[in-house]
């Protein structure tokens, strides 16, 4: 997912959340969700997990890279040694077509498993998910079976997983199930640290050469957003090319309370994002019966 898409998606989701809890605008929330075609979402208090709002919370949807929340949890339950290293093997760990701009290791590069975890969660690197499974000593097929067993053990009855990365469209879950795995991961200090890293720097070894890497989670960099009334404390996103999924832990600047926001299957245009944000900020005409319109989208409206 591109930085601009992630920026617009996060602001859209949290804007909807804060609109919902402003009484004078509450009547418009259902219209906004319908117009934005959000098939499933929930908002829960943190750390209690009490669900305070939602839609189709038990309806299965594709989860894309939110799959990696299960991959991380299973790696921990398998007692992975985060201080050990895994050697990158292109044939073994490459997951289909890799964009030119995507992060890539060189064949033979040795990477600490803790750094592999951060690579998977901070920038959602797909190869890292396979490396992490391999580091537990399991073949990917067996590791995925354990991911499903762990999901069942957590009481996640509507979750089905078929790979470690989320590239498989058969990976499905519900907003309620995703709330449970996300909150479970947030209890683990290693996983929660990775989910909350805005910038992560690490070193790997390529023969005798030390290679430095710096990766960025644009969801968590405050300067990318303007006039926010919330802070994003932890995040994991997913993108299938058509649909966006998201798990966020946010803290309101109005009352310092924390909330988890889960969304699945968003299909929305950039124009709709901008219109919602302008509506929330009061720059669009407030009409509770119709969705706000915007004529022209500035390419840098969030920069």
Q: For residues 282 and 175, which has the higher predicted lDDT (pLDDT)? A: 175
Nearest CA-CA partner of 41 in 72, 15, 68: 15
Return the residue matching tokens 């760990």. Answer: 93
Q: pLDDT band at residue 52, thresholds of 50, 70 and 90?
A: confident
- Report residue 280's pLDDT band, with 50, 70 and 90 as the boundaries: very low
First-last CA distance in the chain: 17
pLDDT tops 90 at residue 297? no
Whether 279 is in a domain gets the answer no
Any domain includes 154: yes
Domain annotation covers residue 195: yes
Give me the residues paired with residue 42 across strands.
54, 262
Q: What is the mean pLDDT of residues 115-142?
A: 96
Positive or negative, the CA dihedral 223, 228, 229, 230 is negative
CA distance 66 to 81: 23
* pLDDT mean over 102-111: 93
Domain assignment present for 47: no
Q: What is the pLDDT of residue 151?
A: 98
Residues spanned by the domain of 236? 58-268
Number of separate helices (H) and strands (E) present in the chain = 10, 11
Instruction: Give percent above pLDDT 70 in the chain.
Output: 70
Does residue 62 contact residue 166 with C-beta atoms inside 8 Å? no
Who has greater pLDDT, 144 or 198? Answer: 144
SS3 content of the chain, % helix, strand, coil (to 5): 40, 20, 40
Lowest mean pLDDT among 28-37, 146-155, 160-169: 28-37
Q: Over 50: is that where the pLDDT of 104 sits? A: yes
Check residue 5 and give its pLDDT.
52
Contact between 221 and 235 under an 8 Å Cβ cutoff? The reply is no
* pLDDT of 279 strictly over 90: no
User: Which one, of 295, 276, 298, lies nearest residue 32 by Cα?
Assistant: 276
Q: What CATH number corresponds to the domain at position 71? A: 3.40.710.10
Q: Which residues pair with 55 in a beta bridge?
A: 41
In a domain, 9, yes or no: no
What pLDDT does 12 receive?
57
**CB 97: neighbour CB atoms within 10 A?**
6
- Condensed to tens digits (0 to 9), the pLDDT of residues 244-262 reads 888 988 888 778 889 998 9
Q: Domains in the chain: how many in total?
A: 1
277 located within any domain = no
**Mean pLDDT, residues 189-211:** 96
Region 272-298: what's the mean pLDDT? 35
Peptide bond into 154 cis (omega under 30): no
pLDDT tens digits, one per residue of 54-79: 889 999 999 999 999 999 999 999 99
- Evaluate whether residue 140 is within a structural domain: yes
Give CA–CA dist 147/126, Å, rounded.
16
Closest CA to 103 of 121, 125, 86, 122: 125
Residue 19 falls inside a structural domain: no
């Amino acid at each position: 997912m591109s930085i601009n898409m992630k920026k617009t998606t996060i602001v859209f989701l949290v804007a909807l959340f804060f609109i919902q809890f402003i009484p004078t605008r509450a009547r418009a929330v259902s219209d906004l969700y319908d117009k934005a075609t959000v098939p499933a979402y929930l908002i829960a208090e943190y750390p209690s997990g009490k669900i305070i709002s939602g839609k189709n919370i038990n309806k299965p949807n594709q989860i894309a890279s939110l799959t990696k929340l299960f991959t991380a949890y299973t790696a921990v339950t398998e007692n992975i040694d985060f201080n050990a290293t895994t050697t990158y093997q292109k044939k073994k760990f490459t997951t289909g077509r890799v964009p030119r701009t995507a992060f890539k290791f060189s064949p033979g590069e040795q990477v600490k498993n803790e750094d592999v975890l951060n690579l998977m969660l901070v920038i959602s690197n797909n190869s890292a998910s396979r490396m992490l499974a391999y580091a537990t000593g399991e073949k990917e097929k067996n590791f995925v079976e354990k991911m499903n067993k762990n999901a069942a053990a957590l009481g996640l009855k509507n979750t089905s997983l078929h790979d470690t990365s989320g590239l498989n469209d058969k990976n499905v879950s519900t907003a309620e199930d995703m709330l449970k795995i996300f909150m479970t991961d947030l209890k683990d200090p290693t996983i929660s640290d990775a989910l909350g890293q805005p910038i992560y720097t690490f070193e790997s070894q390529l023969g005798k050469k030390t290679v430095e890497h710096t990766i960025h989670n644009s969801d968590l960099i405050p300067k990318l957003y303007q006039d926010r009334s919330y802070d994003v404390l932890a995040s994991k996103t997913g993108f299938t090319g058509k649909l966006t999924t998201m798990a966020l832990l946010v803290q309101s600047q109005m009352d310092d309370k924390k909330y988890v926001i889960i969304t699945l299957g968003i299909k929305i245009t950039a124009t709709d994002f901008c219109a919602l944000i302008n509506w929330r900020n009061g720059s669009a005409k407030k009409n509770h019966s119709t969705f706000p319109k915007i004529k022209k989208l500035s390419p840098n409206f969030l920069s």
